[in-house]
Structure 1
């Protein structure tokens, strides 16, 4: 390209840019833009094309050029926006990070929100029994001590409705998600957890309730004894047993490793024969990072994997990368799977 062609190309680039900025990617007036372009290109002694020459190009053809330019620019803008949001043109988004992570809040009876500072809260007995709800979002967990001294560890994406003070013959709470209970003993006032259409009744013991999937809730007993009920089905389980309900309403009791079940409350995330998709979605949620996969087939890989989510994401990704043969890396606030 000679100097004249280079200058003309620069003029054209500048005109296209100005037109697109003025019209916000709407096709500009071809005649008007061409007049401006021809006026600039005619300046100088060595111009090879005169204004009379360039005006012979049909305006309809120029409109087609402008339409193509506008479409291409719009497509480029879409790609830029998607990349800013964490998507990748050569991969698919498995998890999208939140722009502003949510806080732990307590809702009163009027649904007014009160932000909880920290993740450890003890409630003093109130003079009046009203129902409050604590909401724990993605990437957070918390320990809540109820007015009777019962300790509750709430996992991410969980909520617990509880009275500010327990009155009556029973102590009742309602759970969505997952929680570990260490119930203060009171033989005169049974403690009942409602979750996923199931109720767990205890006097004083430790157990884990997972109703993340409300259709298949299950209870794992750590100490003492509990009675699990749903509809007309009742079952008493002993420590080390897990009672789960299937979609048909039947109950299944199995032996489990308690270290695997309850370790989440100590910050250890355990996966046993879980898909890589489930693992990275949990990591994306906890650390609030994007997850992008360049090879969907890898997401079906099943692994036994654990990490300490109280540590940084770098260590968690490094450990996962080791057992997946260097298929995963951390880059620009995103977990990339290749």
Structure 2
């Protein structure tokens, strides 16, 4: 009894001060099969121990169930002192079960998947319906498209553009974008050019600009030349001039070098003070691979990072690791990012 109590006390100390124990000592604490079995018996009977709003376990009921399974039922008339010792033992076992459960949780890091690979074949495809084309660019590719009015659009990985076979007879030249596209629009003052996304509409006469709209919550418009008028679903409008940038909430900012926003069409990854989670999603989109974080707090780490899109994924991860801010590795076919 005392030996078991001493081990529980030692486990408590390990939980409170793990830095005082070696990995071997921690492993030894978890190697006691009987203790682990007790832990599992009690946790199975009260799954609520792992829930946030769980009620306290009925120790008496759990003890009776435990005695029945283990064949330790007391004979009637047993001394009260022995009964108290048994109740003390089960109380300590409850404490041990919780501690061991937490230690087991500590030994398996949390995983936060922020991007998933697509197992389907990645190919460029075109759909046409009622005179409207939809071009789909898969992950790991980008492509230049020339529109019927000679405007040029570079589409990034996992993007699609919907556009008519001809703009003739239309007051406005409208296209619909999902993903990211860089536009060089042919001037035609009589027929404004409109890029629609789920969150914003961008109207131009003749200009160069980049639109990123992989999701409604992450929509961005960056103007390189000319001028554009950006509006949201509530008809709020914002005028952009060269070197200006706006997000999905129409918050305008100035950028030092707006040509960085078209680096991707020149075959580069370029991130200037960008959150790590967005950098890793972009890498996942290009290399079509699962991205998993082991620590939630490092997702918001901001980095300046540049690399060639022609580099292998392993080369990219080595470059990231050289910055000594995070650790990224390939594990079982996915990228795992930790500290």
TM-score, normalising length: structure 2? 0.59
Cross-structure match for 1:92: 111
**Is 1:108 paired with 2:111?**
no
- Contact persistence 1:290–1:335 (CA under 8 A): yes
- Contact kept in structure 2, 1:104 and 1:134, CA below 8 Å: yes
Structure 2 distance, partners of 1:325, 1:228, is: 37
In structure 2, the partner of 1:307 is 307
1:255 positional shift:
0.6
Question: Is contact 1:101–1:288 with CA below 8 Å preserved after alignment?
Answer: no
The separation in 2 between residues aligned to 1:219 and 1:293, in whole angstroms, is: 28
Residues in 2 aligned to 1:336 and 1:243: alpha-carbon distance in whole angstroms: 32
Alignment of 1:10-159 (within 5 A): 92=111, 94=113, 95-109=115-129, 130-159=131-160
| Partners of 2:200 and 2:298 in 1: CA distance | 36
8 A contact 1:196–1:215 mirrored in 2: no
Structure in which a larger fraction of residues adopt helix: 2
Alignment-derived partner of residue 279 in structure 1? 279
Aligned to 2:254: 255
Residue 324 to residue 216, structure 1, CA distance change in 2 (3 Å):
same
Q: Distance in 1 between matches of 2:156 and 2:222?
A: 15
Deviation at 1:147? 1.5
- Which sections of structure 2, spanning at least 5 residues, go unmatched? 1-107
Alpha-carbon distance change, 192 to 90 in structure 1, aligned in 2, over 3 angstroms: closer
Shift in Å, 1:162: 0.2
Report the count of equivalent residues.
Answer: 227
Partner Cα distance (1:217, 1:281) in 2: 15
**What is the alpha-carbon distance in structure 2 between the residues aligned to residue 303 and residue 108 of structure 1?**
41
Offset at residue 176 of structure 1 (A): 1.8
Unaligned runs of 5+ in 1: 1-88, 111-129
Q: 2:184 aligns with which of 152, 163, 182?
A: 182
Relative to the length of structure 1, the TM-score reads: 0.59
Residues 296-333 of structure 1 show CA distances to partners (whole Å, capped at 9, x for unaligned) of 55445332222221222232111101013672334664
Q: What secondary structure, in the 3-state scheme, does the structure 1 residue paired with 2:251 have?
A: strand
